[in-house]
Amino acid sequence: MAITLSQLRDRKRDYFLARSEGEELQMEPRCYCGKTLEQDYFCTDCNHKCQVTFILCADPGALALAKKLAGSPDFHKFEVDALAT
């Protein structure tokens, strides 16, 4: 399974764009419109507070790390998928 940015936009799913750096998972919060979010997660383009419950993984290392993360109690509500290329 993999998902495209336009599919996320159609579903109005805000997401973290995740990349791996070694064993570290770098997660950048984004609105479904594509805007990078600040700490308050408020998108000034869509005028809503984003609910980020999706981890979009840009590389295989990130996918493995994000799946592990989603198995932990704090992140059990998160969906994980790979970015379709």
Q: In degrees, to the nearest 5, what angle opens at C-alpha 33 toward C-alphas 46 and 2?
A: 150
How far apart are CB 78 and Zn ion at their closest, in Å? 16
Q: Is 52 in the site for Zn ion (CB under 5 A)?
A: no
Q: Is 81 in the site for Zn ion (CB under 5 A)?
A: no
Q: Is 43 in the site for Zn ion (CB under 5 A)?
A: yes
**Cβ closest to Zn ion, residue 46 vs residue 64:** 46
How far apart are CB 36 and Zn ion at their closest, in Å? 10
Q: Is 31 in the site for Zn ion (CB under 5 A)?
A: yes
Over 51-81, what HEC string results?
A: CEEEEEECCHHHHHHHHHHHCCHHHCCCEEE
**H/E run at residue 8:** helix 5-10
Q: Which amino acid is at 34?
A: G
Residues near Zn ion (CB under 5 A)? 14, 31, 33, 35, 43, 45-46, 50
